[in-house]
Amino acid sequence: MSAAGDDPRKRLLAVFDELGRIIAAPDFRGCRYLAADLALADPEHPGRAVTRAYRERVTGLLEGELVRLGHPRPARAATQLLVLVDGVLAVGATRPGADPADAARELAEGILSEV
């Protein structure tokens, strides 16, 4: 059980708190999965299967929490949250000090407010 406990809303928002800690680390250089997707031009490259599996796993975790929360559109909301996660990681790597995790957390709260 995480520090956010068993509450799905708190657990989903805690993702952005944790991302804020991750991107604030002095050695943070970005997300390896996002970097691989950008570097691999060939959509059939075997590395794409790895990044696709990662994204499916993360989306599944998010969607599971959204179902527990009773969100009316858990699959769509999970995709929206993944866009925010990817955005935090990209901005965190390219604009140190921009605090994208806090901004994304606010947007996530809007997505969760549909419940």
b/e burial code for range 52-73 (CB count within 10 A of at least 16 → b): eebbeebbebbbebbeebebee
Kindly state the tokens that stand for 13.
């928002």
pLDDT per residue over 66-84, tens digit each? 999 999 999 999 999 999 9
pTM tops 0.85: yes
pLDDT per residue over 22-59, tens digit each? 999 999 999 999 999 999 989 899 999 999 999 999 99
